Amino acid sequence: MTTTAAQAQDALQKLGVAAAAFQQGALAAHSPIDGSQIGAVRTHTVEEVATAVDRAQQAFLAWRVVPAPVRGELIRLFAEELRQNKQALGTLVSLEAGKILTEGLGEVQEMIDICDFAVGLSRQLYGLTIASERPGHRMMETWHPLGVVGVISAFNFPVAVWSWNFALAVVCGDAVVWKPSEKTPLTALACQALFERVAQRFGKAPAHLSQVVQGTREVGEALVDHPKVALLSATGSTRMGREVGPRVARRFGRSLLELGGNNAVIVTPTADLDLAVRGILFAAVGTAGQRCTTTRRLIVHASVRETLVARLKQAYEKLTIGIPTDAKTLIGPLIDKAAHDGMQAALQSARQEGGQVFGGERVLADRYPQAYYVRPAIVEMPAQTATVCHETFAPILYVMSYDSFDEALDMQNGVPQGLSSAIFGNDLREAERFLSASGSDCGIANVNIGTSGAEIGGAFGGDKDTGGGRESGSDAWKAYMRRATNTINYSRELPLAQGVDFNV
Ligand code: NAD
């Protein structure tokens, strides 16, 4: 057994996952750290997915009548469990997804944060009281639990994305069936084990409130097509969303799509370059460029381009690349060979379009032949070409320059995706314009901070090819509930709306 496999086994055992659950099955889990197999899980058939949804529906029928603040208590206990197991779960995230340990722990912290948010929310699922046009009448809206929520998640945030959905869905009175990425099945087992422990302690949760189904896209498709999945929340590539969205719509289901991004930072002539370099660096190379909010495009004013690019290159040269569990490492591996090949293909086509490539080569191949570590790349482009407009899920930062601010905004918005964006500068007019209706068209628009690393308090998501979904904070909870409008007549008359007269 490799050291990585032993570490994963140790973490899984600490988290309370039975050995049988991660030691046998058709789906092998590999660590991107060294490519070694760290576990194997049983996959679910389409019929088993249907059974899971039916069971979830039964759980929903019981859970929806439990008062929301009591539902919140379950999530409060879950947050406590996560706090106690942060180290083990964060380590497992690191081993299975390859992100550096501080980011693995950060991901678990994000789970704790959304649970805390959801606990507060459980006493704030407010509807409006609305003025009626009729005398002796009152109108209001009520938010009711929705049903079964299917969650399909991506490899790069193997646990946080589920928790964003799960914590809100549970306080909203829903049951959840989760299909994690086939690249990260072990962390899902761990989350389920932690939850089951908590549910037992809580004592009032129906069986099957939370379930995990494992497998590839066929298993996801079974969730997508099941008529009892009231909300399908899917996080992943735009390609996946294009397939999933219409299928859910065909059965009039509700979908929440969190898809690819192609996030830009605009650096203006008034920018604090120290701040910009630090902000761009973390956002462009953190998580080895495998965040949906990773900065992939740098749109820099011509007057500061040379200085900024030189400083970024200097910073890139100092990056430590290696084993993500080593405290000194800043850049861990790519998830797999396909990610590496995709990166090299993108660099090649950027070159053909006139790009000047700095970095981007594979490293540590002699030490880890089955793993894919790369030096993050900076590519100076003559224009925003087709390659730049495509999301390549790897650390490539394309640099383009601009002369007028309008040109910068056109470039920022001139890609199919619309997730995250940022501007660095101290000109109030430019910053406000960037945030205005005629500014960035993204779901996230920041000033003087990078594009990645959102807090859970705000709604997370983006428009256009990013899919339009919003998760996490603000009023994202509304996606997990159904709204009823109620009109109550407390008079002895029956006036009709719009003054309609209908007397016999
Ligand atoms: P992916 O699309 O390959 O897979 C995501 C999930 O969808 C997996 O669980 C997979 O099994 C499932 N899936 C794929 N095709 C499906 C289908 N036709 N029907 C049902 N399920 C299907 O994505 P990935 O490589 O795991 O993740 C990287 C992508 O995810 C990037 O594009 C990234 O930007 C995006 N992402 C977006 C967000 C966001 O919040 N917007 C967050 C994380 C990742």
* 223 CA: nearest ligand 1 atom: 20
* pLDDT value, residue 305: 98
Q: Considering only CA atoms, which of 331, 283, 332, 465 is closest in space to residue 391?
A: 465
Give kind and range of the element (H or E) at residue 463. strand 463-464
Give 321's DSSP letter. Answer: B
Residue type, position 499, single letter: G
Q: DSSP of 180-219, one letter per residue?
A: --TT-HHHHHHHHHHHHHHHHHH--SPTTSEEE---SHHH
The phi-psi region of residue 246 (left if phi > 0; otherwise alpha if psi is between -120 and 50; otherwise beta) is alpha
Strands 210-212 and 175-179: parallel
pLDDT (average), residues 280-291: 98
Give 495's DSSP letter. Answer: P
268 lines ligand 1 (CB under 6 A): no
* Domain locations in the chain as residue ranges: 3-259+467-484, 263-447
CB 397 within 8 A of CB 298: yes
Distance 314 CA to ligand 1 centre (A): 33
* 293 CA: nearest ligand 1 atom: 34
pLDDT at 13 over 90: yes
CB-facing half-sphere around the CA of 8: CA atoms within 13 A: 30
Distance 282 CA to ligand 1 centre (A): 23
* pLDDT value, residue 104: 98
pLDDT at 245 over 90: yes
107 lines ligand 1 (CB under 6 A): no
Distance 236 CA to ligand 1 centre (A): 2
Measure the CA–CA gap between 263 and 422, rounded to whole angstroms: 8
104 lines ligand 1 (CB under 6 A): no
224 lines ligand 1 (CB under 6 A): yes
Most informative mutation of 292, 336, 391, 421 for ligand 1 (most atoms within 8 A of CB): 292
Token reading at 417: 């995706």
Distance 415 CA to ligand 1 centre (A): 19
CB-facing half-sphere around the CA of 223: CA atoms within 13 A: 31
Length of the chain: 504
CB 401 within 8 A of CB 65: no
CB 347 within 8 A of CB 396: yes
Average pLDDT, the chain: 98
Measure the CA–CA gap between 12 and 85, rounded to whole angstroms: 11
> What is the CB neighbour count within 10 angstroms for residue 254?
17
Measure the CA–CA gap between 157 and 176, rounded to whole angstroms: 18
Structure ipTM over 0.95, yes or no: yes
pLDDT at 279 over 90: yes
* pLDDT value, residue 419: 98
CB 293 within 8 A of CB 325: no
154 lines ligand 1 (CB under 6 A): yes
**Cα-flanking dihedrals φ and ψ of residue 326, to 5°?**
-80, 125
Name residue, tokens 């898809």: 259
* pLDDT value, residue 1: 84
CB-facing half-sphere around the CA of 408: CA atoms within 13 A: 28
CB 420 within 8 A of CB 261: yes
* 467 CA: nearest ligand 1 atom: 41
CB 159 within 8 A of CB 108: yes
CB 202 within 8 A of CB 74: yes
CA-only gyration radius of the chain, Å? 24
Name residue, tokens 């603040």: 69
220 lines ligand 1 (CB under 6 A): yes
Q: pLDDT (tens digit, 9 = 90+) per residue, 166-221? A: 999 999 999 999 999 999 999 999 999 999 999 999 999 999 999 999 999 999 99
* pLDDT value, residue 111: 98
Token reading at 338: 């396909």
221 lines ligand 1 (CB under 6 A): yes
240 lines ligand 1 (CB under 6 A): yes
Q: Considering only CA atoms, which of 339, 447, 318, 446 is closest in space to residue 393?
A: 339
Q: DSSP of 276-332, one letter per residue?
A: HHHHHHHHHHGGGG-STT-EEEEEEEHHHHHHHHHHHHHHHHT--BS-TTSTT-SB-
Domain 3-259+467-484, CATH: 3.40.605.10
Most informative mutation of 96, 156, 444, 466 for ligand 1 (most atoms within 8 A of CB): 156
391 lines ligand 1 (CB under 6 A): yes
Q: pLDDT (tens digit, 9 = 90+) per residue, 117-141? A: 999 999 999 999 999 999 999 999 9
40 bridge partner residues: 23, 28
Distance 471 CA to ligand 1 centre (A): 15
Share of the chain above pLDDT 70, in %: 100
The phi-psi region of residue 474 (left if phi > 0; otherwise alpha if psi is between -120 and 50; otherwise beta) is left
464 bridge partner residues: 417
Give kind and range of the element (H or E) at residue 224. helix 217-225
Distance 87 CA to ligand 1 centre (A): 26
Please give the model's pTM, rounded to 2 decimal places. Answer: 0.97
* pLDDT value, residue 313: 98
pLDDT at 2 over 90: no
Distance 293 CA to ligand 1 centre (A): 14
pLDDT at 86 over 90: yes
Token reading at 19: 């050995």
Which residue minimizes the CA distance to atom 13 of ligand 1?
A: 217
Measure the CA–CA gap between 412 and 407, rounded to whole angstroms: 9
User: How many secondary structure helices (H) and strands (E) does the chain include?
Assistant: 16, 23
CB 332 within 8 A of CB 288: yes
Query: In 85-151, which ranges are continuous DSSP H helix?
Result: 86-97, 101-121
Q: pLDDT (tens digit, 9 = 90+) per residue, 432-457? A: 999 999 999 999 999 999 999 999 99
Measure the CA–CA gap between 302 and 108, rounded to whole angstroms: 41
pLDDT (average), residues 425-431: 98
Q: Find how far residue 484's CA is from the centre of its chain.
A: 29
Measure the CA–CA gap between 23 and 290, rounded to whole angstroms: 28
* 247 CA: nearest ligand 1 atom: 19
215 lines ligand 1 (CB under 6 A): no
Token reading at 163: 């928790």
Q: pLDDT (tens digit, 9 = 90+) per residue, 323-344? A: 999 999 999 999 999 999 999 9
212 lines ligand 1 (CB under 6 A): no
pLDDT (average), residues 233-256: 98
Distance 101 CA to ligand 1 centre (A): 23
* pLDDT value, residue 179: 98
Residue type, position 366, single letter: D
For the question of residue 258 being annotated catalytic, the response is yes
Q: How far is CA 463 from CA 124, 440, 458, in A?
A: 27, 11, 15
Name residue, tokens 């030096």: 375
Among residues 182, 258, 380, 430, which one is catalytic? Answer: 258
Measure the CA–CA gap between 82 and 109, rounded to whole angstroms: 8
Q: Looking at the domain covering 263-447, what would its CATH class be?
A: alpha beta
Rounding to the nearest 10 degrees, give the CA dihedral for residues 7, 12, 14, 20.
-120
